[in-house]
């Protein structure tokens, strides 16, 4: 399998010095920057070489106990792609998109970012943290393969320990991008943090100066659920659930169509929105947003009708890439070539475990060698049709203006609407965020038993005999 994917890096029409580029001129987009395949080859090479490249490692401390694995070779490819995805977000925020790697001049912020991905249990985004969180939260073995959605959810949880960046990580579900709710999350996290810090400063008896915990997206959802506990809720979007390796259940939830008095604009979704927007509108503090959208672009294989829309995302300056690939062979997609190919960084190279020392002004030979192991000079160029349809695209927005700009481009681009929807506020036919996590008919039954009148019809699962991807989950 690895040999097959490696062979895809070289095509018949390639440049001998840059085999990942075609020998004919094609537009190349890499994370929001445009290049020419013929005229900008060195710029392209420098840009790709400056991305963080996380690969299999060997010889690190055991994961999950003394008998745990000391290498992630063979199972950690999506873990590493998740590291590359959020690593690019950190580079974007702390160094800037224009930053280029210089092995002779290592920036302290750059070294600080690398330390967050060290192969040791205490590093915030280490292979140890990702694998252990997956094992504890999802009943997986430590060495289980993960899908893009699972990795995104784990990164969301791990980001809480990153006090340097203070990211707000939002992973969408079936609702797409709901602008006002996401804005509220970024503002509310900042407001809650500032309020708690002020309370600590004013307290004369509590001397605990540890940094406050940010309010999580889940806690806001619970708050919204309590707000609506005495009102019926519209749940009208079917979802897919993996039944086994051979089939997928399409569950049609019960629909309760609420009628409102003439002139009454109240609704469950508006109440949820009021809960989510309790932060003062004039708040000027915005926490950087890391937005991840899990997608499934096809049933058994990638549907090429989505190709133009997916490639268009690489033209956005907020884009930090896509994680996907093939079953058991994950890749980080960083750009597009022409109309039907993508550039990828491949984690399927095993290197020695990376443990960095404390950042220092000088650059030792050993440090320079280790630093070089985080950068790739041989990316892959792969036809889109070879990709698995299950993937996740991510964006980073340093400011609210960045988020507004991203949404404006997505709304103006008619192609992106085929991938996901963008809404100013939550449409009334889309479940509030506190209910979009429901995955089984039993959960819907419990919801309606407690929050609304009895629904005579039970949710109906429709089973489709389609090949379910056991390693890249259906989303």
| Residues noted as catalytic | 77, 346, 348
What is the separation, in whole angstroms, between the first and last Cα of the chain? 25
Render 56-123 in DSSP notation, one character per residue: EEESPPPSSSTTS-SB-TTT-HHHHHHHHHHHHHHHHHHT-TT----TTS--HHHHHHHHTT-SSTTS
CA-CA distances (angstroms) from residue 328 to 1, 78, 471? 9, 8, 7
Nearest partner of 329 among 28, 7, 92, judged by Cα: 7
Nearest partner of 368 among 111, 113, 103, judged by Cα: 103
Cross-strand bridge partners of residue 247: 244
Please give the distance of CA 144 from its chain centroid, rounded to a whole number.
19
Q: Between helices 148-158 and 77-94, what is the axis angle to 10°?
A: 50
CA-CA distances (angstroms) from residue 429 to 175, 432, 460? 10, 9, 19
Count of CB atoms situated within 10 Å of the CB of 359: 15
Q: Is the dihedral of CA 191, 196, 201, 203 positive or negative?
A: positive
Nearest partner of 336 among 385, 382, 387, judged by Cα: 382
- Residue bearing tokens 């949880």: 157
CA–CA dist 354, 82 (Å, integer):
17
CA–CA dist 264, 375 (Å, integer):
58
Nearest partner of 349 among 381, 377, 321, judged by Cα: 377
CA-CA distances (angstroms) from residue 194 to 32, 62, 100, 103? 33, 39, 34, 38
CA-CA distances (angstroms) from residue 417 to 313, 335, 359, 422? 11, 20, 44, 8
8 Å CB contact between 155 and 83: no
| Tokens read off for 321 | 């890439």
């Amino acid at each position: 399998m690895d040999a097959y994917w490696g062979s895809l890096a070289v095509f018949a029409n390639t440049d001998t010095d840059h085999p990942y580029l075609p020998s004919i001129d094609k537009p190349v987009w890499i994370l929001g920057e445009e290049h020419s395949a013929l005229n900008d080859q060195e710029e392209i090479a420098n840009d790709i070489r400056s991305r963080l490249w996380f690969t299999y490692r060997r010889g690190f401390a055991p994961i999950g106990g003394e008998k745990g694995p000391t290498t992630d070779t063979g199972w950690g490819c999506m873990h590493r792609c998740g590291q590359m995805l959020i690593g690019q977000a950190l580079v974007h925020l702390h160094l800037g998109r224009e930053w280029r790697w210089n092995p002779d001049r290592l920036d302290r912020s750059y070294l600080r970012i690398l330390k967050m991905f060290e192969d040791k249990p205490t590093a915030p985004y280490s292979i140890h943290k990702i694998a252990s969180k997956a094992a504890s939260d999802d009943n997986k073995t430590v060495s289980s393969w993960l899908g893009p959605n699972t990795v995104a959810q784990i990164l969301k949880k791990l980001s809480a320990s990153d006090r340097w960046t203070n990211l707000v990580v939002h992973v969408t579900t079936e609702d797409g991008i709901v602008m006002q709710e996401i804005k509220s999350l970024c503002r509310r996290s900042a407001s809650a943090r500032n309020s708690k810090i002020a309370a600590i400063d004013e307290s004369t008896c509590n001397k605990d100066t540890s940094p406050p915990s940010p309010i999580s997206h889940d806690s806001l959802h619970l708050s919204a659920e309590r707000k609506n506990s005495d009102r019926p809720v519209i749940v009208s979007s079917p979802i897919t659930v993996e039944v086994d390796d051979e089939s997928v259940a399409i569950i049609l939830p019960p629909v309760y169509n609420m009628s409102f008095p003439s002139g009454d604009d109240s609704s469950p979704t508006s109440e949820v929105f009021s809960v989510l927007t309790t932060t003062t509108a004039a708040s000027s503090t915005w926490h950087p947003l890391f937005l991840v959208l899990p997608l499934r672009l096809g049933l058994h294989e990638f549907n090429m009708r989505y190709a133009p829309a997916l490639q268009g995302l690489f033209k956005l300056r907020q884009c930090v890439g896509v994680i996907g690939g093939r079953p058991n062979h994950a890749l980080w997609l960083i750009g597009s070539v022409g109309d039907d190919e993508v550039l990828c960084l491949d984690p399927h190279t095993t290197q020695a475990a990376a443990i960095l020392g404390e950042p220092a002004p000088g650059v030792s030979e050993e440090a320079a060698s280790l630093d070089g192991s985080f950068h790739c000079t041989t990316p892959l160029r792969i036809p889109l049709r070879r990709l698995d349809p299950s993937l996740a695209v991510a964006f980073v927005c340093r400011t609210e203006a960045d988020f507004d700009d991203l949404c404006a481009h997505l709304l103006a681009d008619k192609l992106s609407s085929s991938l996901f929807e963008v809404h100013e506020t939550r449409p009334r036919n889309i479940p509030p965020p506190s209910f979009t996590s429901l995955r089984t008919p039993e959960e819907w039954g419990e919801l309606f038993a407690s929050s609304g009148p009895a629904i005579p019809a039970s949710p109906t699962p429709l089973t489709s005999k389609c090949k379910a991807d056991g390693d890249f989950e259906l989303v």
